[in-house]
Amino acid sequence: MTFVGRVAKRYAEALYATAMAQGVQARLIDEIGTLSDLLVAHPELTATLDQPRLSEAKRLALLDLLLAELQPEAPSGAEAETPAEGGEAQINEGPLPLTRQVMALLVRRRRLALLAEITQALRDRYDADEGIVQAVATTAVPMLKAERENLRVKLAEHLGAKRVDLECTVNPRIVAGLLVHVEGNVIDATVRTYLDTMRERLKQVKVAEFVDAGLLEPLQQAVDETDAPGAQAPGNTE
């Protein structure tokens, strides 16, 4: 892990512990993720928030403008957190105070470049705690809703996961079949791979036939003679 990765992980661990104590992990990750995506899409915002010539007060004021535009949504891929015993459900009227606190900290320390890695570390920790697996399925044509649901259920059973969050993509080059990336592994059941494998096997069969027929022996002998010390190159009669 790189130095930046280690620093981002430390931020994420501390932030996740605080969010878990407040019971707002999923909502925090959604808000931090939205801000991270926004800054990636608009790098000029990151540059401005990290601008050394701007006072801290002005940079924090700009951050507050961004947070004011953040539209809260129900936690994606997770059940809404239940309030603590004896507590009341809070009305979602804006970003969490915790979101503002961590973003302000990153702005003050000019560490916004860590935000994407912090977000990913938070998601990884949440998925691990909740038994969620992220998977990407690629097909030659779009899958039907029933097919996607069936694949999601089958993957969850195979992986022993509580839930699989499945992203579906389309790539006509695979011809037909299915390609799944999950937890760093690849499940390849595509026609393209099958055809490539058969092509390589046919090549090996053809070479084997030449060997069995003794047709490669003269060629091998010529190569050996050429590689021998002091041997002349073919066609060199000097």
- Digit-by-digit pLDDT tens for the chain (238 residues) are 787 788 899 999 999 999 999 999 999 999 999 999 999 999 999 999 988 889 999 999 999 998 987 765 544 444 444 444 444 444 556 899 999 999 999 999 999 999 999 999 999 999 999 999 999 999 988 999 999 999 999 999 988 899 999 999 999 888 788 889 987 888 887 777 766 776 676 666 555 555 555 555 555 565 555 556 655 544 454 4
User: What's the confidence (pLDDT) of residue 16?
Assistant: 95
pLDDT at 58: 93
C-alpha 232: how far from its chain's center?
56
DSSP codes joined into one string, 109-126:
TT-GGGHHHHHHHHHHHH
212 vs 177: CA distance, rounded Å: 36
| 39: phi then psi, degrees, rounded to nearest 5 | -70, -30
pLDDT at 87: 42
pLDDT at 198: 66
Closest CA to 124 of 21, 24, 18, 25: 25
Instruction: Classify domain 3-81+93-130 by CATH architecture.
Output: Orthogonal Bundle (1.10)
pTM over 0.75: no
Report yes or no: 27 and 96 within 8 Å, Cβ to Cβ: yes
CA gap 94, 112 in Å, rounded: 21
CATH 1.10.520 residue spans of the chain: 3-81+93-130
| Residue pair 47/82 in contact by the 8 Å Cβ criterion | no
- Residue 16 structure tokens: 């996740």
